[in-house]
Amino acid sequence: MIVPVILSGGSGTRLWPLSRKLYPKQFINLVNNNTTLFQDTIMRLPDEVSSPIIICNEDHRFIVAEQLRQIKSSNKGIILEPVGKNTAPAIAIAAMSLLNEKEDPILLVLSADHLIDDNKKFRNSIKIASKIAENGKMVTFGVQPNKPEIGYGYIEVDNSKKSEYYNIISFREKPNLEIAQKYLNSGNYYWNSGIFIFKASAYLKELEKYEPEIYAICKKSCTKVSQDFDFIRLDNKEFYKCPDKSIDYAVMEKTNAGVVVPFDSSWSDIGSWEALWDSKSKDSNNNVSEGDVILSKVKNSYIHSSNRLVSVNDLSDLIIIDTQDAILVSSKKNSQNIKYIVQKLKNDNRSESDNHRKVYRPWGYFDSIDNGEGFQVKRLFINPGAKLSLQKHQKRAEHWVVVKGVALVTCTEKKYKLTENQSTYIPKGEIHRIENCEKTPLEIIEIQTGNYLGEDDITRLEDDYERN
């Protein structure tokens, strides 16, 4: 039995400002208009494999659940990491949750944010790799490089004789351009795809051998799991102690069982704006333009507008990304360095590092329209049948105006309905809730007033989603 393990805990900071910590690239329609990278990862799985197990964090759990629901995908569980500790512990947790006396499944480990354009070749590679994994090998996919790429790690192999797989000689970090060209010319280096296939027992055996601390902590974390809805929670106290290591450092660079199966298809981890530009169709001037964009004498550039007219004149090799609350202008060549901008935002405690203006919640989402001294205005979109928590605020009052739909309002001990153009006032400290009991979306304008308007000024008394 092959069980896909989907790793979806990344933050995608190199695609800021579209990708942010609380809504990263794997959950955005970056390439296809109708599906996200996460959904594409699920949908390209072969029919013969089992339902996947998903590894994500607390912040993304409802996004994952909703995107699975949209594509009608079943799963073996959504495991929540209390904190990101890289891929080695995440895979160990998945392996431990699946391995038992009766089952020793083959794990197909996939990142949720990869772009693969030939599903047929991908599925064929899985067939080849799974047979090799049955014999105890630790398989990774190596992508044949077609250019001296400096944004990927490389794997050196012994491919002196033609075979379905090759023994690993070494793993190499992201090189400079000169070294990347040497790797390309040599013919025995592959891009490290980050896709793995091995038996659950084989991985755990090697992890225990080379990283016994990670193995022991993960095992302890799995002994005290709890479950709510589709979510599986680990023992937080134990997992926080776990070292932060990738599977490459922890196992694959050390094991004698590691092999590479060549993967002959277009592949990308969409690790930069240049990589995303490279994956898309271009106009006659080699530009990618999205949204309300006007270009004049522009070449080799990526221009995206989410919100307003963006006009560009007589420039080349640029990345320009316009969102509702941030604009990025960068050279295309050095677009990977955007991570330093994100770090600066974090250092300055700027919310733009983590949040979009539109923030998703399990009941829908809100859009922060305006704010100033002592006030904040939001648009709330509440899904049919959904409701906010029964809650109160110590430092703010709220005014609600129904724009579309019907709202069932609880305020202290009173319950009443509001229809379009009707409003209500929730005083500071009052217990309240809003629900959408209809089959159509509910849209509300919320005006907050008070001396503190942070999202942490909330006391939940009841919550359908078991949030604190």
Do 358-462 and 2-268 fall under one CATH topology? Answer: no
The rounded mean pLDDT for the chain is 92
Condensed to tens digits (0 to 9), the pLDDT of residues 431-450 reads 999 999 999 999 999 999 99
- Alpha helices (H) along 163-294: 177-186, 200-210, 212-221, 236-239, 247, 273-279
Mean of pLDDT values over 329-345: 92
Q: Which CATH architecture has domain 358-462?
A: Sandwich (2.60)
What is the SS3 assignment for 300? coil
User: What is the spatial distance between Cα 36 and Cα 112, in angstroms, rounded to a whole number?
Assistant: 9
Mean of pLDDT values over 241-255: 93
Question: Sign of dihedral through CA atoms 390, 356, 111, 73?
Answer: positive
pLDDT value of position 263: 87
Answer yes or no: is pLDDT of 100 > 90. no
User: What is the spatial distance between Cα 23 and Cα 5, in angstroms, rounded to a whole number?
Assistant: 20
Q: Kindly state the percentage of the chain with pLDDT values over 90.
A: 71
Query: Which two structure tokens, joined as six digits, stand for 405?
Result: 């739909």
Mean of pLDDT values over 387-416: 95
pLDDT value of position 459: 93
Nearest to 7 by CA among 110, 114, 139, 116: 110
425 pairs with which residues across the strands? 399
Write down the CATH number for the domain with range 2-268.
3.90.550.10
Confidence grade of residue 88 (pLDDT, cut at 50, 70, 90):
very high
User: What is the spatial distance between Cα 95 and Cα 9, in angstroms, rounded to a whole number?
Assistant: 17
Buried b (16+ CB within 10 A) or exposed e, 37-58: bbbbbbebbeeebbebbbbbbe
pLDDT value of position 37: 95
Question: pTM of this prediction?
Answer: 0.88
Confidence grade of residue 196 (pLDDT, cut at 50, 70, 90):
very high
Of 266 and 26, the one with more pLDDT: 26
pLDDT value of position 332: 93
pLDDT value of position 259: 93
Confidence grade of residue 20 (pLDDT, cut at 50, 70, 90):
very high
Q: Distance of alpha carbon 276 from its chain centroid, rounded? A: 16
The residue extents of the domains of the chain are 2-268, 275-337, 358-462
pLDDT value of position 358: 87
Question: Sign of dihedral through CA atoms 120, 124, 125, 130?
Answer: positive
Which phi and psi (to 5°) does residue 405 adopt? 95, -165
Answer yes or no: are the C-beta atoms of 370 and 376 closer than 8 Å: yes
Confidence grade of residue 59 (pLDDT, cut at 50, 70, 90):
confident
Q: Which residues contact 101 (CB under 8 A, 6 or more apart)?
A: none
Of 323 and 9, the one with more pLDDT: 323
Query: Which two structure tokens, joined as six digits, stand for 360?
Result: 């998703």
Answer yes or no: are the C-beta atoms of 78 and 229 closer than 8 Å: no
Answer yes or no: is pLDDT of 329 > 90. yes
What is the SS3 assignment for 114? coil
Confidence grade of residue 33 (pLDDT, cut at 50, 70, 90):
confident
Mean of pLDDT values over 244-271: 91
| 260 DSSP assignment | E
